[in-house]
Structure 1
Amino acid sequence: MNEEREKLYGIGEVAKLTGVPIKTIRYYTDIDLLPATERTEARFRLYSMTAIWRLQLIRVLRQLEFSLEEIRAMLVGNLSPEMAIDWQLEAVGQHIDQLQRVQQVLRQAREVGQRPGQSIDSLYQLGLALSENVSERSHFVTSKLHALVEQANLPAEWRCQLLEHFTWHSPETLTSRQIAAWTEVVRLLNDPAFAEEALRFNSSSEPQAGGVMDIAEYNRQALELIQRAQSLAVQGVSPESEEAQELLWTWIRLVAVSTRRAITLDFVRELSARLPNSPSDIMQRFWTLMAELSGREAPLSYKEGFDLLASALRSLLARPRALKAVLDAPAKQAGRPGSLT
């Protein structure tokens, strides 16, 4: 007794049964991903139920965004489903992360676009967060920082070193947190108030061009000084204490050395009026964001230390006799370059 022949289906019937377009079925067959079970004498493709189930599997795997080569490897046993799923989970996670980054930028772009006076340039700058052109992203931040340095009232030696220090190199790809930081950095760099504060902070001491202390040495001594001030502030030392006042004079001498200025009453008053007590919130926020973009720890503000020095200076200025006494003391007038410790 002859066995009943398995029913075969034409390509049009298969398309109706599975919902897969005829063009796609034909392509899968041409690349040997879905071989036809048989062909008629006229070379029409015919497919068995097993082939139809294979097509259904391919369709589901494609919906899960497996590539055709990954599907082929799974079907022939060269790639286990477990490994393929792990790969795809990783790919999907990366895709979700990318979509979230796009969402962040679009939301920020919409907010920027609603502000009067904002140009298409701002939208372009926000979009750099998603760009694969790392050098373009790096150039945007670096050029903005360099423009601020060029405007600052600094001697040429310091300006050159700051330009090198403010050359920023972007990571290849920004994380979601870094994209959030980027959008805020773009806003700050385009904010005239930020530029004004940056210039005020960097130009306040008016260093002179001739014979100025090396910026590296200045930075070393300034950091050591503010760390000592921070320690005293945390200990609750009074601004009027001998320790705080001695540290204040170390700071005054540092500024005098770096600016080639004599320590006079006018000079001390000028410092009180013009020098910032500490980096403002906007400056501190900017450097925190830049640290996030560079993958570093956020810089310390040393706010309490700066506040202690500012209070000590106000206290000294409120006591004219004490101020005159220290101004008249030769030891306090040492304004020569060199170590201040």
Structure 2
Amino acid sequence: MNEPHEKFYTIGVVAKLTGVPIKTIRYYTDINLLPATHRTQARFRLYSTEAIWQLQLIRVLRQLAFSLEEIQAIIGGNRSVSTAIDWQLEAVTHQIHQLQRVQEVLKQAKETSHQPEQSIETLYELGLALSENVAERSHFVTEKLHALVEQANLPEEWRHHLLDHFTWQSPATFTTKQIAAWTEIVHILNDPAFTEEALRFNSSTLHQSTSQMNIAEYNQQALLLIQQAQSAALQGETLESESVQMLLRHWIRLIAALTQQAMTPAFLLELSAQLSPSSSERMQRFWTLMALLSGRDAPPSFQEGFDLLAAGLRFLISKPEALSTVLDDPSQEQ
């Protein structure tokens, strides 16, 4: 009994069977990805059933975004299917993350689209997060921070210290979370309200400094007092408690010594405004985002401590008898 002859199909029939355009099949054949099984005397290409199955495989792999070179390696046996899939999964994961980053930037840009004069510039600034130009990202943030320091009109030593501290180096690439942090930072840095808060938080006090206290000494003493205020707040200490009143006296004394100002009710009112919840919360949020961008742990929050100090100052202002105790306290003399 004779074995049945294998059936061959013309390129037009193969195109109908597989849904792959004739032009594409011809191209695959020309690059030897799908060699024609036979040719007629008129040189028309003929394809076997096995070739059709191979074409179907090529079609599926192309839909899965495999390159022609990768498909050639798989079909030729030069690369295992498992390895190829692993590589493709890695590439797809990267593409997903990239698309998520693009989506985050576009969503944020959409929020400013109602302001045509700002939207293009904002889109550029947001787009820096997707750029491979690390220097441009670093320059953008550093320039904004330096502008804040210059506007604050601080003493020369303090200004140089902050300019050095506010020089930021961007990581080479951003994660999706860092993209979200970047877009929020762009909006914060471009918000005039943030600039006003930052200047009020620093310059209204520090630009008046005529004492010999350096920034390291001030930072050390201020941090200790804020830590103590945070602890007192978390322990539920009342504003009238001796420990909180002592903290307030030390805080007032520190700033008065720094600025060489008299401890008047107006002075205390100014200190209270600097410690307003909106200002300290926004500053805390900003530095938390900056830490995330730099791949560091978020700085500790002293929000409750700041709130306690601000409330304590307002308490002193509203209670003349308590205020006089602080202002007349001989321990405040320098």
TM-score, length basis structure 2: 0.86
Q: Secondary structure at the residue paired with 2:171? A: coil
Change (3 A) 1:60 1:86: same
Alpha-carbon distance between aligned partners in 1 of 2:25 and 2:180, rounded to the nearest angstrom: 44
Q: State the AA in 2 paired with 1:276.
A: L
Between 1:88-97 and 1:32-41, the stretch displaced more is 32-41
Q: Is 1:188 equivalent to 2:188 in the alignment? A: yes
1:102 Cα offset (Å) = 1.7
Task: Name the counterpart of 2:275.
Answer: 276
1:97 Cα offset (Å) = 2.2
Contact 2:38–2:47, Cα closer than 8 Å, also in 1:
yes
Between 1:19-28 and 1:54-63, the stretch displaced more is 19-28
Contact 1:248–1:313, Cα closer than 8 Å, also in 2:
yes
Contact 2:275–2:309, Cα closer than 8 Å, also in 1:
no
Change (3 A) 1:95 1:308: same
Between 1:78-87 and 1:321-330, the stretch displaced more is 321-330
Task: Name the counterpart of 1:240.
Answer: 240
Alpha-carbon distance between aligned partners in 2 of 1:246 and 1:172, rounded to the nearest angstrom: 48
Task: Name the counterpart of 1:95.
Answer: 95
1:245 Cα offset (Å) = 2.3
Q: Is 1:135 equivalent to 2:132 in the alignment? A: no
Change (3 A) 1:274 1:51: closer
Q: Secondary structure at the residue paired with 1:113? A: coil
Alpha-carbon distance between aligned partners in 1 of 2:157 and 2:302, rounded to the nearest angstrom: 27
> How much is the aligned-residue C-alpha RMSD, in angstroms?
2.8
Task: Name the counterpart of 2:226.
Answer: 226
Identity of aligned residues (%): 66
Contact 2:248–2:312, Cα closer than 8 Å, also in 1:
yes
Q: State the AA in 2 paired with 1:191.
A: D
1:62 Cα offset (Å) = 0.8
Q: Is 1:57 equivalent to 2:57 in the alignment? A: yes
Q: Is 1:159 equivalent to 2:159 in the alignment? A: yes
Contact 1:152–1:199, Cα closer than 8 Å, also in 2:
yes
Task: Name the counterpart of 2:38.
Answer: 38
Alpha-carbon distance between aligned partners in 2 of 1:295 and 1:24, rounded to the nearest angstrom: 47
Change (3 A) 1:13 1:5: same
Q: Secondary structure at the residue paired with 1:291? A: helix
User: Per-residue displacement from partner, 1:202-254 (whole Å, max 9, x unpaired)?
Assistant: 21213456564332332222112100111112122222222222222222232
Alpha-carbon distance between aligned partners in 2 of 1:102 and 1:270, rounded to the nearest angstrom: 46
Q: Secondary structure at the residue paired with 1:295? A: coil
Task: Name the counterpart of 1:14.
Answer: 14
Task: Name the counterpart of 1:76.
Answer: 76
Task: Name the counterpart of 1:24.
Answer: 24
Between 1:50-59 and 1:118-127, the stretch displaced more is 118-127
User: Per-residue displacement from partner, 1:278-321 (whole Å, max 9, x unpaired)?
Assistant: 54333232222222322333333312212222333344445556
Q: How many residues align?
A: 333
Alpha-carbon distance between aligned partners in 2 of 1:75 and 1:264, rounded to the nearest angstrom: 84
- The gaps in structure 1 that reach 5 residues or longer are 335-341
TM-score, length basis structure 1: 0.85
Q: State the AA in 2 paired with 1:171.
A: P
Between 1:18-27 and 1:191-200, the stretch displaced more is 18-27
1:152 Cα offset (Å) = 0.5
Q: Secondary structure at the residue paired with 1:47? A: strand
Task: Name the counterpart of 2:333.
Answer: 333
Change (3 A) 1:301 1:13: same
Q: Secondary structure at the residue paired with 1:280? A: helix
Contact 1:129–1:174, Cα closer than 8 Å, also in 2:
yes
Task: Name the counterpart of 1:111.
Answer: 111
Q: Secondary structure at the residue paired with 1:204? A: helix
Q: State the AA in 2 paired with 1:105.
A: V
Alpha-carbon distance between aligned partners in 1 of 2:50 and 2:127, rounded to the nearest angstrom: 49
- The gaps in structure 2 that reach 5 residues or longer are none
Contact 2:249–2:326, Cα closer than 8 Å, also in 1:
no
Between 1:207-216 and 1:48-57, the stretch displaced more is 207-216
